[in-house]
Amino acid sequence: MKAYKNMTKEELQQLQKELSKAFEDVKGKGLKLDMSRGKPSQEQLDLSMGVLDMISSETNCKAEDGVDCRNYGDMEGIPEAKKLMADMMDTKPENVIVCGNASLTVMFDTVSRSMTHGVCGSTPWCKLDKVKFLCPVPGYDRHFAITEYFGIEMINIPMSESGPDMDMVEEYVSKDASIKGIWCVPKYSNPQGVSYSDETVRRMAALKPAAEDFRIYWDNAYVVHHIYEEEDKQAKLLDILSECEKAGNPDMVYEFASTSKVTFSGGGISAVAASPKNMEYIKKSMTIQTIGHDKLNQLRHVRYLKDLEGIKAHMMKQAASIRPKFQAVLEALDRELSGLEIGTWISPLGGYFISFEALEGCAKAIVAKCKEAGVVMTGAGATYPYKKDPKDSNIRIAPTFPTAEELKMATEIFIICVKLVSVEKLLEAK
């Protein structure tokens, strides 16, 4: 196929005419499709219904330490849930606190605590003139929303296929004591599906921060969320806690994970993992904040998932459900856009998204066109701090929630819009 940029003005005008016609045709169908949401589909949720049978009036509700999960107690989580989440996060149970439904809340609370009380004895951030976070981009909008909410200045760090630009990260972190954190989704990153290379993880663990209260916010949201079988081996992520320990930085990281996309987004369990010193500091605050998280739900989850092997087997069912959707989108992009040089994308091995890089200055227009034709995409810019994509080129595609049929139509429309907006952009320059 001929790259659009090599086309003559006349060729582009002819193409624009055809694409406009195609666009008006699909628009005329009055569709209502949604590729915006990183939500599991009904089929995926159905896979976990067994969780709901694990506790009933016929079962006992005792944890293995004898604690009655119906009552107060075990603020750190029941032992078997600590073990399960530790296994999932590739760390030790004593490094883990099992929390409530959402790891996002644990992250928010971690930043909030640093604002009011500092980090392991440092000055509370609310007393500082300036607090900054590094934000690998494109990234997860809800991370950026937390730091923005607390008035923390965010600095973009470009992502490559092996993770964030570590030269930049090292430079910033070692020189600027106002930099207190970096947001990371180290495996199957949101939205690109990039997994950090061993070198990236090791350089991350070996950072020499100017700020004693600098922490890596390691959101391992997709730690077991492979799309293909056996892909785990290719995308195996080093354990950040032990790498930090080896590098002499045992306290430099908080790791977060949850079962939101393993079992139920509306009723899962989450966890935070960190060094003993960090744990002690977290517990000082958490013990004021709660008498304990929902232990019955922890028990349900352990009884259903059992152990790491159980989680892996379960996630292969999830993979089987979402793989055809990812493949459908990727095949359509390949078929329709390869060689046109109007967009790039990475084929992810896991996670929940496909990240599309349009021509510079086209993302907002493409998303707007899609909306006009009845397809909701994640807002352009959402993957950047302050919702500002400096190149206006990144679009996040979320293939999991729609049905296969809806997804097929939505992808077709998305491709028409990408082509049409790109042609118009190129014509502007002629």
User: What is the greatest pairwise CA distance in the chain?
Assistant: 78
The binder of a second copy chosen from 13, 14, 116, 347 (CB under 8 A)? 116
Q: Which of 68, 231, 406, 412 binds a second copy (CB under 8 A)?
A: 68
Exposed e or buried b for every residue in 49-86, given b needs 16+ CB within 10 A? eebeebbeeeeebebeeebebeeeebbbbbbbbbbbbb
State yes or no: residue 123 binds a second copy (CB under 8 A): no
Q: Is 105 in the site for a second copy (CB under 8 A)?
A: yes
Exposed e or buried b per residue across 90-100, where buried means at least 16 C-beta atoms within 10 angstroms of its C-beta: bbebebbbbbb
Judged by CB under 8 A, the residue of 127, 129, 233, 428 near a second copy is: 127
* 101, 318, 355, 383: residue in contact with a second copy (rule CB under 8 A): 101
348 counts as binding a second copy under rule CB under 8 A: no
> At closest approach, how far in Å is the CB of 285 from a second copy?
7
Q: Are strands 153-160 and 132-137 parallel, antiparallel or unpaired?
A: parallel
Amino acid at the residue 19:
L
Cis bond leading into 40, ω under 30°?
Answer: no
**Nearest distance in Å: CB 284, a second copy:** 8
Q: How far is residue 316's CA from residue 322's CA, in Å, rounded to a whole number?
A: 10
Quick one: which segment of 52-60, 336-344, 353-361, 406-414 binds a second copy (CB under 8 A)?
52-60
Which of these segments, 82-90, 144-152, 378-386, 412-420, binds a second copy (CB under 8 A)? 144-152
- For residues 125 and 388, what is the distance between their CA atoms, to the nearest angstrom? 25
Tell me how far apart the alpha carbons of residues 166 and 286 are, in angstroms, rounded to a whole number: 33
* Residue 324 C-beta: closest distance to a second copy, Å: 20
SS3 94: helix
In angstroms, give the least distance from the CB of 191 to a second copy: 17
Site stretch for a second copy (CB under 8 A), options 99-107, 214-222, 320-328, 357-365: 99-107
Cα 369 from Cα 373, distance rounded (Å): 6
Residues at the site binding a second copy, with contacts judged by CB under 8 A = 37, 39-40, 42, 45, 48-50, 52-53, 55-57, 59, 61, 68-74, 100-102, 104-105, 108-109, 112, 115-117, 124, 126-127, 142, 145-146, 149-150, 264-267, 285, 288-297
